[in-house]
Chains A and B, each alone.
Chain A
């Protein structure tokens, strides 16, 4: 490849990792395999943190109380992707922050089963406060995509 007479050398990083999940995420992912979503409650500020973490960053203490949350929840905020980015999923798709029932923290996930062809159509259904529920993947692998996505709960 050349650009205005200068050469361009192709390159790539492919680094393999083995990401340690640790106690908290392990329990969370094992829960997902049984279609259960767990959060932890901070003993100090009483926030229920989902996905669970080993510490509450505000109180700097370890939560120990496990609480099942969801699988229904409320949409806090969302965006809709319209551009194809190399290496990322095909558009359109929506990404939202979902506050699961019983949680104080939001989980980041896809929102699907909504007409995303234009923001105007999507906004008829999606707005903060809309009730959502998890749709589970058929085959569980012990990862965040064991929840396939969240979909709006049909009302009426």
Chain B
């Protein structure tokens, strides 16, 4: 039981993609403007701001200070602001921190925001290589793609030698979903066959198995039960959030072909929220699929499929927008990846689905949605459950 219930009462998004037309703080402003154009309150009503980016991508170590004017920080004597950063999960960490700002009873209206420009570094993989241990691992040039590739290679040897064909289905499905999302970066009409023919980046990951580098800004307005319904009449309530931090080191039982840490976290979250059957109770999933293989691993870890059988859901088309468990109707990370805010976008998309505000990619009758992000060396996961009802059970 938290002190105050927390709800999402508004979302502001920018068009994601190659945004050389605006600098960092202008992009932040664009999301804020969209958010406040749609809500009844104004920036001065916000009690506190939580900000996040994944640092060296922007080439600015603390872009929140530059961006802060977009968040109304420079008005009057200022406002509480805190910057969180946890790698790929940063976006969800923003949402989680904002959630505790409200749940603690300290603040009633909190702005969760992030802005990231991943197209500004000349080579994103070079930046990601700075993440790995300079003493032991950096020399191999490992970056995010290699980490996704190692999962695919493990799955290939452990479960399914034809996994690349199923990865191609994910590549096609999420790219087609993105065509209905005006904010998404890649607009690719691609078939599974075409995805399978793409050149290898790092075996077994091919060009279309990988997410793009995008710029974008996301703003999510969160409010306590006292004020939520005054701001938006059918808000998305945050039923439960949780986070797990696995080890950095690739120990032999870290789980490459099965995402152990995500499975542990999912069980923890389901228990907290009273979810006994995620397949039946959760209506839509917004998952962090930086690489196609990860969506399949996530099906299994979240309990949608048995271990080693996630690919079967693709055969049944169960995770298509019209299927039993729609996954990434927004187009997901495969279509758009402004890394540090991607998690917040997953959270925002899940909220939009619950608020019936997702637009052309709205899934009908969504009561409960799950948002997810992963980060670090396959080690961090964050989950948030959003629901139409204030109390789940």
Contacts and interface: CB of A to CB of B under 8 A. Distances in A.
A95 B135 contact: no
B251 A85 contact: no
B135 A144 contact: yes
B360 interface: no
A4 interface: yes
A25 to B, nearest CB: 5
Contact of B202 (A17, A80, A107, A127): A80
Nearest to A119: B203
For the side of the interface on A, what is the size category?
35 or more
A19 B143 CA distance: 20
Nearest to B134: A19
Interface in B140-158: 140-143, 146, 149-150, 153-154, 157
Nearest to A122: B203
Interface in B189-226: 199-205
Contacts of B205: 79
Interface string B270-303: 0000000000000000000000000000000000
B26 to A, nearest CB: 11
B78 to A, nearest CB: 29
Interface in A55-87: 57-58, 76-83, 85-87
Interface string B16-51: 001011000000000000000000000000000000
B101 to A, nearest CB: 29
B153 A78 contact: yes
Contacts of B59: 11, 13
A88 to B, nearest CB: 4
Given A77-B256, A106-B250, A119 B143 contact: no
Interface stretch (B1-9, B105-113, B123-131): B123-131
Contacts of A19: 134-135
B354 to A, nearest CB: 37
A94 to B, nearest CB: 8
Nearest to B125: A85
Contact of A81 (B56, B122, B146): B146
A153 to B, nearest CB: 19
A89 interface: yes
**Residue among A53, A57, A81, A83 with most chain B CB within 10 A:** A81
Contact of A85 (B126, B153, B199, B249): B126
B137 interface: yes
Interface string A124-156: 000110000000000000011100000000000
B201 A95 contact: no
Contacts of A95: 140-142, 146
A109 B20 CA distance: 37
Contact of A110 (B136, B140, B201): B140
A99 B20 CA distance: 45
A99 B252 CA distance: 8
In the A-B complex, list the 9 residue pairs whose CB atoms are closest, starting with the nearest.
A86-B123, A79-B149, A88-B141, A87-B126, A3-B20, A80-B203, A119-B203, A85-B125, A82-B200
23 contacts: A4-B21, A8-B20, A25-B135, A76-B250, A79-B146, A79-B153, A79-B202, A80-B202, A81-B141, A85-B125, A85-B141, A86-B123, A86-B125, A88-B123, A88-B129, A93-B141, A105-B251, A105-B252, A107-B136, A108-B250, A109-B140, A128-B157, A144-B135
Given A107-B136, A143-B135, 9 more contacts: A4-B20, A47-B251, A78-B153, A79-B205, A85-B125, A88-B125, A99-B252, A106-B250, A108-B140
